[in-house]
Amino acid sequence: MHSVKSMNRRSGLRAVWAALFLGSLTASAQENSPYSRFGLGDMLNGQNIVSRSMGGLSIGFADYQAVNFVNPASYANLKVTTLDVGVEVSSRTLRASSPVRRFNSKYMIPTYLQIGMPLSKKKNWGLNMGMAPLTRIDYNLNTRTRVAGIDSVLYNYMGKGGTYQAFMGTGFGGKHLSAGINAGYRFGNKLYNTRVILINDTVPYRKSNSADTTRFGGLYAEGGLLYTANLSKSTKIRIGLTGSLQQKMQSTRDISRETFEYSPSNGIDIIDSVYRVLDQEGKIVYPSSYGFGFTVERESKWLFGAEFQHIMWGQYRYYGAADPLRDSWTARVGGQYLPDGNGKGYWSRVIYRAGLSYGTDPIVIGNTMNKFLLTAGVALPVRRSFYTNQFTTVNLALEAGTRGNKSNAVRENLFRIALGFNLSDIWFNPRKYD
């Protein structure tokens, strides 16, 4: 019996490149994109549903009911206690160019849970607490190649995990300028498995498995500023600025290189452990970022704005090693329109939103890979606010976009439906009469 040594992490990366971008992909069963193999995984949309329906517009946005956790300075505008929950359903289509192949995947995930409240309406002081996923790793890929002297070699690449954050933030300010900060804990895990099966009619070879499991976490902080000025009696402009520092998360990982056999009755049976390390300590560097933007708003009628965000993904390090990542930027424009907030007809009280975003992807794969997203949405009022001074709204966002183009070996088309529930109802208000 011949044993086959498992590949190390770097050779595993080269094999993934070959599988995905040289066209030998033979099977795909991932929920997420195979691009989630790199860094900490695919970045999830980092805004609430209100902002996502406007192309992600959030840095210069503030509202008395919507809880905008991208710019914590907006918490100063909170006037009612609001429970905000978001969930999304995503559909992806992957297209490989050589040979031409197509794969589809669908999944549903929660996007955030938060509760914002005014600590002092007169002093423009608000508080927010919440949690949200940041990245997602989920793929399962098979590729088959031929090797001299061996009929064929089957590679299986599997990855799972993701990054999450739990945070608390506060925002305060005066008539024109407000400031805020979010602080909390980022944590997560990433599991990578590479299995190699050599298929030969005459010589039996051992199957090999390389597994890396990493757990990480650390404190973080990010801040924001928001300046508001009146352009007229009913129109105002808001200018926002956000930023975060580089974060070093403590991590431990387990590494194993082993041979195995598989049977339908017993499952995977480990034959020999070639290499094993447990609880290896290290650090993962999460990149710094900054953004700026503005919105112009006519109260209870319309709003539009634009923003720019830059994330220094070139700073990312995993136990001192860099991934094929670069700094990325995203530009967003969007707005909303309310026909008649006090109208008798229901659809005249619905807020209509639209926007788009365009930018560069942080993953470096030969040619530059760009991202484009077109969005639309509505805010559906459930309760007529002037009856009770209570607000319940269902926010809907539709997103359609692309990642890469025909010059990239693998490109994605995606479609997402996101729902947000803003609940600031009677259970958040103390009784005045019994």
pLDDT at 247 over 60: yes
Per the rule left: phi > 0, alpha: psi between -120 and 50, beta: everything else, 267 is left
Residue pair 351/336 in contact (Cβ under 8 Å)? The answer is yes
Q: Looking at residues 73-95, what average pLDDT do you find?
A: 89
Q: Check residue 385 and give its pLDDT.
A: 53
Helix (H, G, I), strand (E, B) or coil at 343: coil
Q: Check residue 390 and give its pLDDT.
A: 66
Q: Check residue 199 and give its pLDDT.
A: 77
Q: Check residue 20 and give its pLDDT.
A: 42
Q: Which of 33-47, 60-74, 94-108, 196-210 has the highest mean pLDDT?
A: 60-74
pLDDT at 23 over 90: no
Give the C-alpha separation, 393 to 406, whole Å.
41
Residue pair 204/193 in contact (Cβ under 8 Å)? The answer is no
Q: Which of 180-184, 208-212, 426-430 has the highest mean pLDDT?
A: 180-184
* 277, two tokens: 């390390």
Higher pLDDT residue, 54 or 198? 54
Give the C-alpha separation, 431 to 434, whole Å.
7
Give the C-alpha separation, 404 to 279, whole Å.
38
Residue pair 190/217 in contact (Cβ under 8 Å)? The answer is no
What is 187-209 written as a DSSP string? Answer: EEEEEEEEEEEEE-SSS-B-EEE
Q: Which of 243, 271, 242, 273 is nearest to 257 (CA)?
A: 273
- For residues 26, 32, 37, 38, the Cα torsion angle rounded to the nearest 10 degrees is 140
- Of 41-50, 136-145, 183-192, the poorest mean pLDDT is in 136-145
Give the C-alpha separation, 313 to 311, whole Å.
6
Give the C-alpha separation, 39 to 324, whole Å.
8
Higher pLDDT residue, 358 or 196? 358
Tell me the residue ranges of DSSP E strands in 148-265: 150-173, 177-199, 207-230, 235-244, 247-263
Q: Which of 63, 108, 89 is nearest to 393 (CA)?
A: 63
* CATH annotation of 9-428: 2.40.160.60
- Of 11-20, 76-85, 391-400, 414-423, the poorest mean pLDDT is in 11-20
Q: Check residue 399 and give its pLDDT.
A: 97
Q: Check residue 141 and give its pLDDT.
A: 80
- Of 94-103, 116-125, 158-167, the poorest mean pLDDT is in 94-103
56-67 pLDDT per residue, tens: 999 999 988 789
Q: Check residue 26 and give its pLDDT.
A: 39
pLDDT at 405 over 90: no
pLDDT at 323 over 60: yes
304-322 pLDDT per residue, tens: 999 999 999 999 999 999 9
Residue appearing with tokens 């051992």: 206
Q: Check residue 17 and give its pLDDT.
A: 41
Q: Check residue 15 and give its pLDDT.
A: 39
> b or e along 153-171 (b: 16 or more beta carbons within 10 Å of the residue's beta carbon)?
bbbbbbbbbbbbbebebbb
Q: Check residue 22 and give its pLDDT.
A: 34
**The whole model's pTM is what?**
0.85
221 residue type, one letter = A
Tell me the pLDDT of the chain averaged across its residues: 84
Q: Which residues, at least 6 apart from 33, have a Cβ–Cβ distance to it below 8 Å?
A: 42, 92, 94, 139, 403, 412
